[in-house]
Amino acid sequence: MLSHPEVDVYPSRVLDEPRILDREDPVVYGDPAHGPLTQEQVASYQKNGFLFIDSVFSPAEVEAIQQAKDILWDQPATATRPEVIREPESDSIRSIFAVHRDDAYFKGLSQDPRLVHIATQLLGGDVYIHQSRINFKSGFSGKEFYWHSDFETWHVEDGMPRMRALSMSLALTENLATNGPVMVIPGSHRHYVTCVGQTPENHYTSSLKRQVYGTPDRQSLSFLVERGGIAMPTGRPGSLLIFDCNIMHGSNSNITPYPRSNLFLVYNSVENRLQHPFGAPMPRPDYIATR
């Protein structure tokens, strides 16, 4: 465990009133001119905090990933590995964590050069997987995910020191406007919304199903939306949504028959390895945050 700097530049869940702080870190650390992304794409990511690229993986590749996912999903309802998260009101599997660690196929996929080279271009230098999971939001009853910044949680609960990480969401099903796709607030990654309240012990056992702590207030969300609006990137299976660790995002419910499934990979810079949590008594388990 490393010792903390004297001042936490991103305090959250400390004060009684929410505050909006400026981002103290770059968004792009690498060289915009060298890597798989064009300079225009890097500039757009820098400005908006996300980038959507259609058809990064071919239909045949997506089918293979789907099959690998189905094998994981076929575990019995009695399986109680902590990596397997089930719906609050049923036994259906909602997410499986640490697939890059526990499954040879997804380990290989998380090291696919198309993905890793984008991460190294944006984050500047070597990266590792901070978190991975496959999500499945069923049709008819998919629940909403309220607005949140991933970094706020990773900083407070996992001890991620600075904003030098990004997420990639690879769509395994079609993302439509109707089936509760991820919505992002463009530009919100340049603000840090501190949340009120303290983190209870073992918060992760409930927060992965429905988050209560680490929730931004309505006034701050309105501030961000007034400036950046709301973007809802939609596209075919095989499309890739890349987004900064601090962008505000969430999704509405899904009453359509169309399920939504995606592979979620978080790349963190090796210069940004986890320390002791900045606002929680104990770090979360390794399957949620690689140490």
# binding residues, a second copy (CB under 8 A): 25
Query: Among 225, 264, 271, 273, which residue interacts with a second copy (rule: CB under 8 A)?
Result: 225
User: How far apart are CB 258 and a second copy at their closest, in Å?
Assistant: 8
Which is closer to a second copy, CB of 209 or CB of 276?
209
| Number of helices (H), then strands (E), in the chain | 8, 12
- Binding flags for a second copy, 108-127, as an x/- string (CB under 8 A): --------------------
Cβ proximity of 259 and 54 under 8 Å = no
- Supply 243's token pair: 């987004």
- Supply 54's token pair: 């259609």
Which is closer to a second copy, CB of 138 or CB of 269?
138
Helices (H), the chain: 39-48, 59-73, 99-102, 104-110, 113-123, 150-158, 204-207, 218-228
The enclosing H or E element of 52 equals: strand 50-53
Query: Among 5, 76, 113, 257, which residue interacts with a second copy (rule: CB under 8 A)?
Result: 257
Which is closer to a second copy, CB of 164 or CB of 249?
249
DSSP state of 73: H
Query: Among 49, 161, 180, 228, which residue interacts with a second copy (rule: CB under 8 A)?
Result: 180
- Rounded Cα gap, residues 167 and 242, in angstroms: 6
User: How far apart are CB 145 and a second copy at their closest, in Å?
Assistant: 8
Residue 33 sits in the site that holds a second copy (CB under 8 A): no
**Sole residue written with tokens 């995910």:** 145
User: How far apart are CB 211 and a second copy at their closest, in Å?
Assistant: 12
Residues between 129 and 168 that touch a second copy (CB under 8 A): 139-140, 144, 146-147
User: How far apart are CB 268 and a second copy at their closest, in Å?
Assistant: 27
Cβ proximity of 51 and 237 under 8 Å = no
Which is closer to a second copy, CB of 25 or CB of 152?
152
Which is closer to a second copy, CB of 258 or CB of 267?
258
Cβ proximity of 261 and 69 under 8 Å = yes
Helix (H, G, I), strand (E, B) or coil at 151: helix
Candidates 183, 234, 240, 181; CA nearest to 62 is 240
Residue 251 sits in the site that holds a second copy (CB under 8 A): yes
Cβ proximity of 24 and 9 under 8 Å = yes
Residue 215 sits in the site that holds a second copy (CB under 8 A): no
Residue 183 sits in the site that holds a second copy (CB under 8 A): yes
The enclosing H or E element of 152 equals: helix 150-158
User: How far apart are CB 187 and a second copy at their closest, in Å?
Assistant: 15
- Rounded Cα gap, residues 71 and 85, in angstroms: 16
User: How far apart are CB 176 and a second copy at their closest, in Å?
Assistant: 8
Interface residues with a second copy (CB under 8 A) are 139-140, 144, 146-147, 176-178, 180, 183, 218, 221-222, 225, 230, 232, 250-258
